[in-house]
Structure 1
């Protein structure tokens, strides 16, 4: 019998009910919504945020969905794209990055349709879960080929999110999934540029557009997901796809039943343990930057592809820069700055950092000849409500007043009780 993994995804998208999720999963979903909105707000003052806004504002007359952080409304598809770009722009979103598609897609369409907060949260969870399953099935294979998973799995997850919100039947949902494969694409070489974030925005927009086209009778190959020369097969080899991740979703625990990957620092995740190790070593031994002769760590060039960043988009993807920043100023939204990029203390130290591929520790050689070594611990994550709301306050502080921040947190933490999701961004 032919494989029909698309059918498992469609069944989950159309029939998942919010009440089926555990209290823990629903709480993590709310906190992910809050954290992703925080990443959007943090990006607003940056050049990429201003460009994304300007593009979306061309459709302001449509008045369908919110641009994050403002009272401005634009076309639904344009809101999904702009908010997706903002969500991924400063690399402070959740570590798998799938929320940067799931949230903008679910929010834009739910706002356009004036659906409830519960409908929105269920759609967000569907999109997050499907994108996470697709990522588990194919991401290792993609990475080995220089492909970026968000650009590939995002449109499909957003399409099934849209199919759910539009109440499509299984046949049209299948068409939405197949149509979305035409927009599937992404490349790791774009990491450290504005186009890295465009993967998220484009995926959210393209997926919703696929659902709208399917609703109106647009067609595609119904077997495109599973067929031998289709989407899954084209992106992997027969040995690679973890198809089990795509099956029986209604019977399995959700990804949101597991701890989420909410970041502590606005950097590409693989370098975070080295930054923590070096900062710990300096504090413990009371070392000044002037005491450092050389540093060595694994610079994780597979993901951190920008050796010497020329702008703020590249900065979170330069291991050399981030290490020098960490030991001089620490790594926060505020220390990753134009000033830091040209700080002579930082640029000089960058020349004294050696790449040590595969190293499980960070090493320092001091000017007095002493050598120190600090082992790498696992990546730290934020897990509690207090930690995540504190991070949101920092992210939102650049654009919102404290009363608005507090009111927004309260609404997100009770989002499934809102009668109309348009209340969320309303001031």
Structure 2
């Protein structure tokens, strides 16, 4: 598997990327750029900037997005990875196998795009080079995640970080021009850095794990390029990645499957419509639709019931949230914020908003429960059943399995532009500069030097 992955990365050229993959990839790239810019406003932003200053690495060629700072590639990738994941608003790889919980897999762009961007800027690579590296990184990481035994996630490993470090190495290795042997060694070094624990979810260390994967993949490539050696069969070895982290892997999911099809195309990757846990999104779409269709006012609501499967109930554990991060994993709050404020964007998941008395009062009117019908639908779906009872006795209801932004209900590029501009506005980026980034992404294949995309953008 290690040799197959390395050969795939080394041999694939931009011309091998299907046109529909390039078009879809631009949406995910724009999504990540917006999240990185907005993520600099999170609590992690100033800490990361102070950390980079303290260790003396703010003198490199790669952009720390959302700031006027530049750093060495591995450290810029770390900072941008943390920012992209800081608000838990980034794209999500789908799990479709019946033995896997829906959403179990990875956030595939966050470890890979920062690595591709940082190295592309450092080497003055073109937009085509950058896109190729990005897609190769995503493909390697997602195929590993699809193949590894589900025990890895169930035991507590954070798959975004655990698998993402190899995608980062693939992206950086492609841009650095590593041959297949060097890339196998880079994968071996990356295996020494693979990790991340789900117990850190809900803390600053969840985005740290994503940023670390982006950074560590570059470091692995830097060492391999200098002749550093490692196990060249790290994926399939008796004491290697699959065996140690998962206890095994599904050969059908990975053997001969790199780029056949590309995971971004099939089964697909969701782009989040709301900055909350993806398990809340189908119910949020249903609630938003009911509000729009029936003109529901918050003062008219007597009770709301939201039924899901047990796994969703076990994950969305904050029933009376008091902070923004808790609100992201609270079905009750996600319903309440739509009813009271009519929006659920970055600004609505801040601590001062979550603690508003009117929102806390609405949370008390919402029942989140396990519904047998949702269990019967299977854990490969996020079946969500929403019922709103008004004080005048009227009842409105609806259900959904997949949210807007999923492959079953995809966003358009225009939808993504609106999300990007919301992120840019939240971060205080002037509209004309946000529009320049949109145009650059739309025309990435014509960008001769990736350094030009963000030059002077955050000064």
- What SS is found at the alignment partner of 2:370? coil
Is 1:270 the counterpart of 2:279 in the alignment?
Answer: yes
C-alpha distance 139-399 of structure 1, shift in aligned 2 (>3 A): farther
- What SS is found at the alignment partner of 1:264? coil
1:231 maps to 241
Contact 2:6 2:184 survives alignment (8 Å): yes
The Cα offsets for residues 41-89 of structure 1, whole Å up to 9 and x where unpaired, read as 1222222222223323443543221101233211221100000001111
**Aligned partner of 2:429 among 400, 411, 414:** 400
C-alpha distance 198-301 of structure 1, shift in aligned 2 (>3 A): farther
Deviation at 1:355, TM superposition (A): 2.5
2:100 maps to none
The Cα offsets for residues 346-377 of structure 1, whole Å up to 9 and x where unpaired, read as 11222333222244411234445555432225
Q: Which moved more, 1:113-122 or 1:282-291?
A: 282-291
Contact 1:325 1:346 survives alignment (8 Å): yes
**Aligned partner of 1:190 among 197, 200, 218:** 200
1:297 maps to 306
Is 1:105 the counterpart of 2:102 in the alignment?
Answer: no
The Cα offsets for residues 195-243 of structure 1, whole Å up to 9 and x where unpaired, read as 21112101000111111122222232233321123210122244xx232
Contact 1:311 1:341 survives alignment (8 Å): yes
Cα RMSD between the aligned structures? 2.2
Quote the Cα distance in structure 1 between the aligned partners of 2:36 and 2:73.
17
Quote the Cα distance in structure 2 between the aligned partners of 1:219 and 1:301.
45
2:126 maps to 116
Deviation at 1:313, TM superposition (A): 2.9
2:452 maps to 423
2:404 maps to 380
**Aligned partner of 1:82 among 79, 82, 89:** 79
1:49 maps to 45
The Cα offsets for residues 100-127 of structure 1, whole Å up to 9 and x where unpaired, read as 1110011111212222222111111100
Quote the Cα distance in structure 1 between the aligned partners of 2:141 and 2:114.
13
- What SS is found at the alignment partner of 1:41? helix
Aligned length: 421
Q: TM-score, normalised by structure 2?
A: 0.85
Describe how 1:18-417 pairs up with structure 2 within 5 A.
Answer: 18-58=14-54, 59-96=56-93, 97-138=107-148, 140-238=150-248, 241-249=249-257, 252-258=260-266, 260-298=269-307, 300-329=312-341, 330-358=343-371, 359=374, 360-368=384-392, 371-381=395-405, 382-397=410-425, 398-417=427-446
Deviation at 1:306, TM superposition (A): 3.6
| Gap regions ≥5 residues in structure 2 | 94-106, 375-383
- What SS is found at the alignment partner of 2:207? helix
Quote the Cα distance in structure 1 between the aligned partners of 2:317 and 2:323.
13
2:378 maps to none
